[in-house]
Structure 1
Amino acid sequence: MDNNVSELVERLGSDEDAVRKMAVFKLQSSIGDPSFADVFIAEDGLTRLHYLTLHANGNTLAYSLTSFARLLEVDKGWECVDQELVERVVELIVTHPLVNILRGAMSILVSIVSHPSSGGRLSQGGTFGFRALKPAIAIYPQFLEMLVSRLSSADHALCANALQLINSLMRDSITNDSEHEWPKFIQRLQDLGVIKAVYSLMQGAALQDHAHPLIEFQSLTKVLLRKWRDIPLDLEKPEHRRALKGIHLSSTQGEGADGVSDVHRSKKHSSDKWRRLGFETESPVIQFEDMGFLGMMDLADFVRNHQDEFQKMLLEQSTKPVQQRCPIARASLSVTSILYDHFEVDKSEVEDSKSYLLLESRSNLDKVFKPLLLHWTRLHVSGLHAFFRLWKSTSADAEDYDKIVELIRILIESVVGGAPRTRDVQDVEDELADFEYSRLRNLQMEILELTYEDVWGHHLRQVREELQHEALQFVKEQRIRCLLQGAWFPNDRASKVEAKAGHLKWRYVQLSHNRRFLHFGDFASMSDMKHPELDMLSGKIDLSTVSSVVSNVSASPDNSSSLTVKSVTQHHVSSTKITIHGYIHSATAPSDNPKTNGHSRSGSRATQGEATLLTLRPESPSAASEWLDGLLMLLNQQPITSETSKLTKLISHYGLKIRLLNVRFDDADFAGEVPAVPSREGLSDDYYYDIFGGP
């Protein structure tokens, strides 16, 4: 191998460009081997590669940059990383249009910027990290702008390299820059449109090609949020003091429009300078203990960009009693906290790194990426608007604050958490704004039920079973009472001649009071009597002789396998049919089917014939459900229609809600000490203690 390396190094120094180009082209594929790299450096190949990187052009330059980048990736060649090289690579990124050159140049800078965090040794000059690029960026100030613009490149590899370099710059700046410098750099990137560009990549179809740098950018976004949250609000810091002062000034601008002097108003507000903005006390710094400077940034952003709305709300709230005023500042901090928890910002990078394992499967991409995280500020504003809307629509007061916060938490989890990767942030904002309070309450009840399910386990399942049984018995009684009340049906047996003559066109059917017999009679009209007496009904069926009830009424999906139902396509109401089958003696003609064949038999069912006893044609789906399921349940069979199933579930569901709402969550685990018995000292004999409501 030594001879091959020596020959390769010699060709790198050739006077002919074609020879140099071929040599460095071959070098690309070999230099990533550490043992080859050691021999290459020992043969003084690094010096010649460094020269080509600084002075070559075209493909020779592209191959040289790629070779140098791969050498740095195996932690070799750092002795040739100097300011001249860095300036040359930065110049190429700013001025050169060829993609293959830009890829290698960006890869070199990624290694240089990332070198301190990779654990590698520093060279004598120490020109690594973001600080190594700053002198070159001062010469080419458009470097960052060009770098961000590469995120829109049609070449996926170049786009990934650009984002990888941006990630390296961000990480090094956050880690090594002073607390005054790194926020400025991050703001500079955001002003150049890095958020919009990365958001577009996360939603794009070529996600797989950019997956690793994108997941790193998402992780770095969490690092930034966590870093801002961990910075305590300190009024000794000028930027913190300016932010808080800006909020107060925005609340007072334009207050003289109603004719009240600013001096008088300032005196009026001196006692509640901060509380009127929604802080709990006149020491607003205390309010930021949980969310730190991140909470201040979100609140200041809302006040700055929605100043008219902020002032209008303050004016509206000032006309209400103190207890009914919406605490704007406190609400803003709560929304920040909700978003922080929702996106699991405190999740360590070690846990986030596990996401890389999921990237191997394309089907897991939507689970890993959270593009909406990048639009933190817009989500905060939308969440705050939703808070204001709920506060107003529910006529909430101070005691309801935690309840509104919980509703907003559910709203964020539902809308933001349920949004697919490709959904646009504008659509999410619209849904947050339009989400109905009733839907939100239903979601809350479902979550409450699941929460109790986790705590109570089999106890709640037992309650459900009891309520299901009770609901079924209730519906059974309701259906049977419909039979006891009786109903009119079109006469199925009326002949065409009788029908034209107006005879026997209606049939009245009613269950006997002892629930043992089904009485029926045929009539020419319903107008003569609303409910005929039982003794006026000539037909009578002993329910003990009924063998089955068959219908063409569609069964509910849960019972579609029932043997007593024939599922058919949609019918007109008049075609709905319920047929009662039963056993009759051959000596007795069947009441509804006189042509049934029969022979002389004994009284046992083995010697009886089955025939149609009665046919009913309900005129509405509700009547069909009541009579079909009523007959089935009367015969101790399961109901089968969807209407009965829905009614049973509805009653059972509301029964469970009532029980949940009347039991404290603390009762679920029976935790805590037994409360002390109230003292009767100083009380008369008339005193009693209500364990639910107090004395």
Structure 2
Amino acid sequence: MDNITELIERLSHEEDAVRKMAVFKLQSNIGDPSFAEVFISQGGLLKLRNLALTASGNTLAYSLTSFSRLLELDKGWEYVNQELIGRVVELIVTHPLVNILRGAMSILVSIVSHPHSSNRTSQPPQVPQSFTFHHGFNPQMSTPGPFGFRALRPAIAAHPQFLEMLVSRLSSADHALCANSLQLINSLMRDAITNEADNEWPRFIKRLQDLGVIKAVFILMQSSALQDLAHPLLEFQALTKVLLRKWRDVKVDLEKKEHRIALKGLHLASAPNKSSQDAKASGSKRHHPEKWRRLGFETESPAWEFGDVGFLGMMDFTDFVRKHEDGFQKVILEQVAKPSEQRCPIARASLAITNILFQQFEVDKSELDDAKAYQILESRTNFERAFRPLLLQWSRLHTASLWAFFRLWKETSATSDDFDKVYELMRVLIHKVVGLAPRTKEVQDVEDEIAEFDFQSLRNLQMELLEQSYESVWGSHLRQVRDELKIEALQFVKEQRIRCLLRGEWFPINTDGEGRSGRKTRGGDDGATTHTELRETHRETKKSSTDPYLNWRFVKLSHNRRYLHYTDFEAESAVSPNLDDLTEKIDLSTVSSVVSNVIPASARSSSSTTTLTQTGTNPNHLPPSRMSSTKITIHGYPIDATPETAKEVVLLTLNPHNHSMASEWLDGLLMLLNQQPITAETAKLVNVVTGYGLKIRLLNVRYTENRYESDGHGGNGPEMPGRTGVDDDYYYDLFV
């Protein structure tokens, strides 16, 4: 107690050094509520206030810091008056020392944020706990005295450069000063939004924006000093959402003068005279019958169409028109020249973009939800997820997205019935480019990416996101459906591959190291004979197959799918031979394996010409272009061989023209033997069929929306046939 009394006496000592040391000790102890109670009860507050009004240098800095800490304890308000406020405002405007500016700004933050009611039993303001802690007041306690922005107005009137200086402090190299400046700006904004009249707060916000507060905060959000400024920056982000919600909640009302002026400005900016030459030539002064629909509204009473986005939608649209008036007029003229159903509704598109951005940034989240982010920040992690600097570039994002909407409308040849489809594509585009953008991504890069994103990539991304959303909701059910569809797709592809074999195909005979009938030359090894040589009933065919003029082999699967028929010919003919013309055949029950150097799906990503283990690697190390990559070899056992003497031999060799044919025949043969397909082409086809089946189930696409849209039926399906002249036993099969 004696120490406090002595300290108070030194606050009014004649020597500045003594006062400076006393107030220096005071600033480190005044935050203790019990110390503060004794300090005030012994008259120390009056002396501290006098120092704040008259001192200079470090003595003044310590005095301001001590006074601000008292206010944070909700004490000392009886000594806050216009004289003190005027002194603090003057210091902020004129004083260069950082330590003095910090204390001065802290005092103003407490004053602006002080509760507005002297009734202690009244409902406290709904302010997140994290905000109130950093603003330095307890919403459960309130006392009479100056409060809010209005308490600063007389002092600001005497120093009109106050706001400009305050914003300029945001670019200071001292992070603590930046934080204090932004805290004060936040306090002023919150008070103006909460307590000012409807026609006052927009003016104040616009003035701050004109002074460059958005640009300054955007730079801070992308800077490396984010951790030091985390709390005030996150609060500014939350206040930006409050502003957007407040503008959204203002209904467009033509009874209000500013709303009528804004809407009229849209009409005049569209250059209505350029598209109404007939009316001008006739001298008619009547309004164009499509005055507002020409701009892309649905009706001639546009006010109600702003219902979902309110005056925020009006602001976005007028801002776009004001900054791109020539482009706006050009788009209007282009659309007017088209049939009504093909016109892009410009106004509806603008309002839709506003709505998408509103949802993308989760503007409807309450401040209490945003305050949870403070818990994340306490760990000094997840900064990238918490901060959304692109939110501050709302206008530029809206403009870039609206141009992208026009481009997508044109690229997709959309009509009025397709508006919702283009809307969903834009939602995906904005989520991809804006929603997933890292914190440090420049807004110019975002604009360029929005402008350059191609339609096909966007459509693929939309389907991926759709699958992911269903995956997250239905999880195991969706996986089960996918597995079932894959089995169905595999059966479908199997049938397609086998039908290629049933159709038959011509294969060139490779003369390098190959017998004409498929016999492989092995330096006189008679054990490596073909199935043809083991059948005496076909000796003549074998002899003829060695004729040097026989260069083609036709191979075809029998209708019962049990035999593979083939014969060698001199030349390929346009008409495929019948089964009766094919003198050789292989019983598929004797086939032991089918091997090939066709690249399998598992090795497709490799750049090497990897082959199956049965065929080995390239022995001559030839480049891929110099070696056959599509040879298929069928191995098996002679029909008349006994189990004791059975020896696997080459039954037939095929040399397909290309990889596609090789894939069909190799996997077709494997599937006939109840083995799994191995080529990349077949795997891709199975995945495509599975994917389309899954998408059709997810989208619940009807045949009228998919099969017939491109056939000139307008998406309404084929014309239903009548039953005139048809008896009761006849029916129509509409699906092939």
Query: TM-score, normalising length from structure 2?
Result: 0.76
Root-mean-square deviation (Å): 4.1
Contact 2:92 2:104 (C-alpha < 8 Å) held by counterparts: yes
The CA deviation at 1:172 is 0.4
The CA deviation at 1:136 is 1.4
**CA, structure 1 residues 199+510, in 2 after alignment: closer, same or farther (shift >3 Å)?**
same
The CA deviation at 1:226 is 0.8
Taking the aligned partners of 1:512 and 1:286, their CA distance within structure 2 comes to 70
Contact 2:494 2:671 (C-alpha < 8 Å) held by counterparts: yes
Could you tell which deviates more after superposition, 372-381 or 387-396? 387-396
| 1:394 equivalent in structure 2 | 412
| 2:386 equivalent in structure 1 | 368
The CA deviation at 1:439 is 2.8
Identity %: 61
Secondary structure of 1:290's aligned partner: coil
**CA, structure 1 residues 552+383, in 2 after alignment: closer, same or farther (shift >3 Å)?**
closer
**CA, structure 1 residues 401+57, in 2 after alignment: closer, same or farther (shift >3 Å)?**
same
The CA deviation at 1:68 is 1.9
Paired residue for 1:274, among 266, 286, 292?
292
| 2:322 equivalent in structure 1 | 304
Contact 1:24 1:63 (C-alpha < 8 Å) held by counterparts: yes
Question: Does the alignment pair 1:157 with 2:197?
Answer: no
The CA deviation at 1:395 is 3.5
| 2:727 equivalent in structure 1 | none
Secondary structure of 2:67's aligned partner: helix
**CA, structure 1 residues 317+583, in 2 after alignment: closer, same or farther (shift >3 Å)?**
closer
| 2:483 equivalent in structure 1 | 465
Paired residue for 2:602, among 550, 553, 556?
556
Taking the aligned partners of 1:221 and 1:423, their CA distance within structure 2 comes to 19
Taking the aligned partners of 2:342 and 2:599, their CA distance within structure 1 comes to 55
| 1:102 equivalent in structure 2 | 101
Taking the aligned partners of 2:637 and 2:102, their CA distance within structure 1 comes to 92
Q: Per-residue displacement from partner, 1:532-589 (whole Å, max 9, x unpaired)?
A: 99999999686645267475845427999x996899899625275878696869x98x
| 1:644 equivalent in structure 2 | 682
Query: What pairs with 1:509-520 in structure 2 (closer than 5 Å)?
Result: 510=555, 513=558
| 2:691 equivalent in structure 1 | 653
Question: Does the alignment pair 1:546 with 2:566?
Answer: no
| 1:170 equivalent in structure 2 | 189
Paired residue for 1:197, among 192, 216, 219?
216
Contact 2:594 2:669 (C-alpha < 8 Å) held by counterparts: no
Taking the aligned partners of 2:172 and 2:615, their CA distance within structure 1 comes to 62
| 1:37 equivalent in structure 2 | 36
**CA, structure 1 residues 285+486, in 2 after alignment: closer, same or farther (shift >3 Å)?**
same
The CA deviation at 1:195 is 0.9
Report the AA paired with residue 624 of structure 2.
H
Paired residue for 1:144, among 163, 166, 173?
163
Contact 2:551 2:570 (C-alpha < 8 Å) held by counterparts: no
| 1:130 equivalent in structure 2 | 149
Taking the aligned partners of 1:552 and 1:299, their CA distance within structure 2 comes to 59
Taking the aligned partners of 2:590 and 2:22, their CA distance within structure 1 comes to 101
Taking the aligned partners of 2:262 and 2:351, their CA distance within structure 1 comes to 15
The CA deviation at 1:295 is 1.8
**CA, structure 1 residues 536+493, in 2 after alignment: closer, same or farther (shift >3 Å)?**
farther
| 1:238 equivalent in structure 2 | 257
Report the AA paired with residue 87 of structure 1.
G
| 1:634 equivalent in structure 2 | 672
The CA deviation at 1:426 is 1.8
| 1:319 equivalent in structure 2 | 337
Secondary structure of 1:487's aligned partner: strand
Question: Does the alignment pair 1:485 with 2:505?
Answer: yes
Taking the aligned partners of 1:363 and 1:72, their CA distance within structure 2 comes to 32
The CA deviation at 1:479 is 4.1
Report the AA paired with residue 384 of structure 2.
D
Taking the aligned partners of 1:305 and 1:120, their CA distance within structure 2 comes to 47
Report the AA paired with residue 177 of structure 1.
E
The CA deviation at 1:157 is 1.7
| 2:715 equivalent in structure 1 | none
Contact 1:576 1:624 (C-alpha < 8 Å) held by counterparts: no
Q: Per-residue displacement from partner, 1:88-136 (whole Å, max 9, x unpaired)?
A: 2222222222222222222121111111254265554x31211111111
Report the AA paired with residue 473 of structure 1.
Q
Report the AA paired with residue 84 of structure 1.
E
**CA, structure 1 residues 59+609, in 2 after alignment: closer, same or farther (shift >3 Å)?**
farther
Could you tell which deviates more after superposition, 547-556 or 102-111? 547-556
Taking the aligned partners of 1:229 and 1:566, their CA distance within structure 2 comes to 70
Taking the aligned partners of 1:685 and 1:612, their CA distance within structure 2 comes to 59
Secondary structure of 1:546's aligned partner: strand
Gaps of 5+ in 2: 116-124, 126-136, 515-520, 525-546, 704-721, 725-736
| 2:77 equivalent in structure 1 | 78
Question: Does the alignment pair 1:572 with 2:612?
Answer: no
Paired residue for 1:350, among 363, 368, 393?
368
The CA deviation at 1:223 is 0.6
Contact 1:323 1:397 (C-alpha < 8 Å) held by counterparts: yes
Q: Per-residue displacement from partner, 1:582-634 (whole Å, max 9, x unpaired)?
A: 6869x98xxxxxxxxxxxxx716xx9677888888878654664555444433
The CA deviation at 1:219 is 0.8
Contact 2:601 2:683 (C-alpha < 8 Å) held by counterparts: no
Paired residue for 2:397, among 379, 403, 406?
379
Query: What pairs with 1:445-460 in structure 2 (closer than 5 Å)?
Result: 445-449=463-467
Could you tell which deviates more after superposition, 27-36 or 260-269? 260-269
Contact 1:491 1:507 (C-alpha < 8 Å) held by counterparts: no
Gaps of 5+ in 1: 589-601, 666-683, 687-695
| 1:603 equivalent in structure 2 | 643
Question: Does the alignment pair 1:188 with 2:207?
Answer: yes
Report the AA paired with residue 73 of structure 1.
E
